[in-house]
Structure 1
Amino acid sequence: MENEKNKSIRRIVEILNINVPNLIKYNGEIAKQLFLHDSFNLDNKVDISVERKFLGEVLKYIPNEYRTLLHDTSHSTSDYTAVDFSKITHANIYDGDTLIMTIIVYDVKDEEWMFRWNHNIRLPEKNIYFHSIKWDVDYIKPEIVLMYELLDPIDYHQLPNYRNVIDSLSYYQFVILRLVVGDERINQALISEKKAI
């Protein structure tokens, strides 16, 4: 029997896929699984990415029974009037005390995605995601997912699978990742993954 957490995750995903499918891109572990296996597993917390200008539109479809906590670089709040939307980094969605979704905010300028910690690192926005024909969803490319996972303090609550993803990257994807995070951070991640297993 499906547990309550899974029901909540599936419910929110269904609502977002029906109402704002073109505004969300799956991220984190779900994006890696879509990339590696074309699987769309909703059994655990789901991460999605949303362009900043569409964050409010996406949030309005999160049912009121779930608690939304908006995070900027210095604090978090559930009060939408007490936060500067231009500084929000992510929003966490809770079912009771259980974190079920993280919405990661990204910025676009002149149709170019900008890496959060270095706005000089840019890619055409259309080049930051793939589309799964099987599931009819967009998902962030694995090299970008890894950029954030290897450098971002957000706790993704997932077991790492860096080796599988890195081994599946094209040469171009690996060069982009390496350029942004560096060899040392990639090696540290692979070592920590080996210890975790």
Structure 2
Amino acid sequence: MNNNKNVKTLVNRLNEKVGNLFKYNGEVAKQLFLHDEFNLDGKVDISVERKFLAEVLKYIPKTYHINLYDETQSTSDFSEIEFSKITHANVFDQNELIMTVIIYDVEDGDWMFRWNHNIRMPEKHIYFHSIKWDVDYVKPEIVLMYELLDPIDYHQIPNYRSVIDSLSYYQFVMLRLVVGDERINQALNSEKKAI
């Protein structure tokens, strides 16, 4: 219960100080898309453009522990990792993972998919805005691109079927183009087994 309160406190601080510099990702983004619910009862994922990473991280109080990751290592020493190679950061409250900060790159105003920089779209098209909660969140097809292909352990309840069923035709085609039918089917089958 205490860590849940700490997650909410951290999220409120980030929203207040740098809410315009990040977008909600993961389970929070999926729930905003599916139900317009802003549920902060578990781990929270956010996405930040690389050039704003330091600005966002500086508002995370020192009482939390931050680990930075690239494709080969993790470290809490910011001088030991090449900034351009960072893929994400995990924020811990004592030993509990409470937030993942996913880094994305933008070139000439276009968001670039991490594993294939030929997959691009205008950055302003990678997210929706919740009027009810006044927050930005990553579009569900992009959330699923990363969840279905990314080795990051998101610690989330699989709800691929409900998200996929709610995608528009264009969103589904985009997801399918990037991850392929086989990976979508594997995810749906693994979700069935988990339920």
TM-score (norm 2): 0.99
Q: CA deviation at 1:8?
A: 1.1
Structure 2 partner of 1:177: 175
Aligned partner letter, 1:113: W
Structure 1 partner of 2:132: 134
Q: C-alpha separation between the residues in 2 aligned to 1:105 and 1:136?
A: 22
Q: Deviations over 1:64-92 (max 9, x none)?
A: 00000000111011111111111000000
Aligned partner letter, 1:23: L
Structure 1 partner of 2:8: 10
Q: CA deviation at 1:33?
A: 0.1
Aligned partner letter, 2:186: Q
Count of aligned pairs between the two proteins? 195
Q: C-alpha separation between the residues in 2 aligned to 1:125 and 1:153?
A: 23
Structure 1 partner of 2:117: 119
Q: C-alpha separation between the residues in 1 aligned to 2:155 and 2:75?
A: 21
Q: CA deviation at 1:139?
A: 0.1
Aligned partner letter, 1:181: V
Aligned partner letter, 2:153: D
SS in 1 for 2:20: coil
- Which of 38, 41, 64 is the matching residue for 1:40? 38
Q: C-alpha separation between the residues in 1 aligned to 2:41 and 2:7?
A: 8
Q: CA deviation at 1:159?
A: 1.0
Runs of 5+ unmatched residues, structure 2: none
SS in 2 for 1:35: helix
TM-score (norm 1): 0.98
Q: CA deviation at 1:133?
A: 0.4
SS in 1 for 2:59: coil
SS in 2 for 1:74: coil
Structure 2 partner of 1:148: 146
Aligned partner letter, 1:132: S
Name segments (4+ residues, structure 1) moved above 2 Å. Answer: none
Aligned partner letter, 1:94: F
Runs of 5+ unmatched residues, structure 1: none
- Give the aligned CA root-mean-square deviation in angstroms: 0.5
Q: CA deviation at 1:4?
A: 1.1
Question: Identity of aligned pairs, percent?
Answer: 75
Q: Deviations over 1:25-70 (max 9, x none)?
A: 0000000000000000000000000000000000000000000000
